[in-house]
Structure 1
Amino acid sequence: MLLFTIITLTTFAVLIRIVANPLANVFQKQLTQRTADPLFITSATYGLLTLFCLAFSAHFQFTGLSPLFWQSILLTSILAMFGNVFLVKALHIGDLSVLGPINAYKAVVGMVVSIFLLNEIPDWWGLAGIILIIVGSYIVLGHNQQRSGLSWWSVGTSLFQRPEVKLRLAALVFSAIDGVFLKKAILVSTPATAFFYWCLLGFLFTFVWVLLTLRKQWRQQVDLLVAHKLTYVALCLAVGITQLASNIALAGMPVGYALALFQTSALISVLFGYQFFKEQGILRKLIGASVMVIGAVLITILG
């Protein structure tokens, strides 16, 4: 019975995360369209989540945390901060239905890192996964260039020169690495405790960044927060649910399996892009996203 409960809780967390993450992206994009600054959005999200956590402080561990926990959560918070800011910047200038599927490249990043740090050479499944991700991204993004008769190489070069894609790739590199340290922090504490310090440290780091770079804009940004408080609250709920679900999933299964399952949110990102922002090419993007998801699963589970 206990095993069944653990499996059920982990599976439920994965399913919730798959839906909540694209929904958070929707609210982030809506706020940037209303001239909210990506850095301020990220900082406000961390800050509101920290205040929410204080109401449940009895569930968090404040003493007896090991040096490994502090090292891991500090690195996680710094990496997550940069990853989240770059993600919101990418959403500001790009399509959700494009940037969601791009997250499948996280599996490629993980493979490359493991080659150099762990000397893990990918097998044929891993190489097949890389090919599928590249083909899928071509389907998602390459239709205009294809009609112009350009080569696959030209399409790929054009793809990675797009500023929103550069920002999204930077964000996924940071998030791919921070997932490893987050797993370490969870293993020596609890998912809830790791979540609280993720929020608190993320707010402290981004607040300092806001003070250094948005000194002339912070009042305007606060006014926007008040004017669009419901969207900010919805964003905090979506981000909080996403992160808590991620922590529970990471505590209950290997990182690789969790990351592979998370990739299926790319399909929902495409649908949300059409539903909320009327982005075009929905069928083509769904096909491309599906190919990329299959590639990510091959790399992460079989590669």
Structure 2
Amino acid sequence: MTSFAILVRILANPLSNVFQKQLTQRSANPLFVISATYGILMLVCLAFWPQLRFTGLLFEFWQSMLISSLFAMFGNVFLVKAMHTGDLSVLGPINAYKAIVGMLIGVFLLNEIPGWWGLTGVLLIVAGSYIVLNDKQQRKEISLQSEKVGLFRRPEVKLRLAALVFSAIDGAFLKKAIILSTPTIAFFYWCAIGFGLTLIWISLTMRTTWRAQTTLLVSQKTTYLALCATVGVTQMASNVVLADMPVGYALALFQTSALVSVLFGYQFFNEQGILRKLIGAGVMVAGAVLITVLG
């Protein structure tokens, strides 16, 4: 079940990123996109799983769930903003650091001590992601841009770094909530609390624009529904994996979704450097094998 969930997550997450970028290119506000996603998923849960209205959950569950949802909200909004303003080929490699951040947080919060093979696997996945998503021409462009503005001082890079840190913290607290309940219960409250938090944010910052965003939602309902489906599948699969695997290992395995990006780029956009990307993908697969078999 865990292996299947990892596969589903690896396939679904890149699709959700595609739909998020499409919506922001059509003038959708990143905060509104995330809020609508939370809201629609919450309604789906209430319609099909009314038994999810649980009582009697421990205070520690609610505490972990609230912290997780808060960090998830900021992480998701910053991610969509970064994708809207930046180049995915530049921002992509940065995401591999999420596994390291998640592993460090897991050590202190959940006492998840990584083994040597697992740690080696994480480092291989990070290294492989750079081989997959970087090339000489890109590094020249980054170098030229960095002469004017330091790479890590660029707004989109700052947003991506913030997003991965928030997402890693979210993963650690979410796992704690899952341990105290189930992956399905945690998913429902992740949607419900996230929706409530984003509504508060919208009421404070989008008083004059939310109506226009609602109109856009109706006109782009197909893309929104596709986004909700892929985000829902991605998050539920993530919960299943987190329930059975250390946070750092899980986040590292999720980075192998770069494999899907390589295949999409070659098949649909005729991107070059396929051999280099396949080599990098092979390194990432090797890291994933170390984690799942020996970690």
Distance 1:279 1:98 in 2: 19
Distance 1:285 1:221 in 2: 41
Name the counterpart of 2:171: 179
C-alpha change, 1:30 and 1:293, in structure 2 (3 Å) is same
Q: Does 1:259 align with 2:251?
A: yes
C-alpha change, 1:233 and 1:245, in structure 2 (3 Å) is same
Asked if the contact 2:103/2:249 (under 8 Å) is kept, the reply is: no
C-alpha change, 1:299 and 1:139, in structure 2 (3 Å) is same
Name the counterpart of 1:137: 130
User: What is the alpha-carbon root mean square deviation over aligned residues?
Assistant: 3.6
CA shift digits 1:165-205 (9 cap, x unpaired):
22122111111111111111111111111111000000000
Name the counterpart of 2:62: 70
Name the counterpart of 2:95: 103
Distance 1:114 1:191 in 2: 18
1:96-245 correspondence to structure 2 within 5 Å:
96-111=88-103, 113=105, 126=119, 133=126, 137=130, 140-141=133-134, 143-144=136-137, 146-147=139-140, 158-245=150-237
Segments of structure 1 that go 5 or more residues without pairing to the other structure are: 1-8
Distance 2:73 2:233 in 1: 17
1:164 Cα deviation after fit: 2.2
Asked if the contact 1:75/1:178 (under 8 Å) is kept, the reply is: yes
Distance 2:159 2:142 in 1: 27
Identity score, percent = 57
Q: Does 1:15 align with 2:15?
A: no
* SS of alignment partner, residue 63 of structure 1: coil
1:98 Cα deviation after fit: 4.2
Distance 2:230 2:114 in 1: 37
Distance 1:65 1:119 in 2: 24
Asked if the contact 1:110/1:176 (under 8 Å) is kept, the reply is: yes
1:274 Cα deviation after fit: 6.5
Q: Bigger CA drift: 74-83 or 212-221? A: 212-221
C-alpha change, 1:109 and 1:97, in structure 2 (3 Å) is same
Name the counterpart of 1:290: 281
CA shift digits 1:192-227 (9 cap, x unpaired):
111110000000001110111111111111111011
Distance 2:184 2:121 in 1: 37
- Report the TM-score, using the length of structure 2 for normalisation: 0.82
C-alpha change, 1:119 and 1:46, in structure 2 (3 Å) is closer
Distance 2:142 2:97 in 1: 25
Asked if the contact 1:100/1:265 (under 8 Å) is kept, the reply is: no
C-alpha change, 1:18 and 1:166, in structure 2 (3 Å) is same
Asked if the contact 2:101/2:168 (under 8 Å) is kept, the reply is: yes
Letter in 2 for 1:283: I
Q: Bigger CA drift: 75-84 or 210-219? A: 210-219
Distance 2:255 2:280 in 1: 9
1:10 Cα deviation after fit: 1.5
1:20 Cα deviation after fit: 0.7
1:19 Cα deviation after fit: 0.6
Asked if the contact 1:89/1:167 (under 8 Å) is kept, the reply is: yes
Distance 1:99 1:292 in 2: 20
Letter in 1 for 2:137: N
1:248 Cα deviation after fit: 1.2
C-alpha change, 1:12 and 1:130, in structure 2 (3 Å) is closer
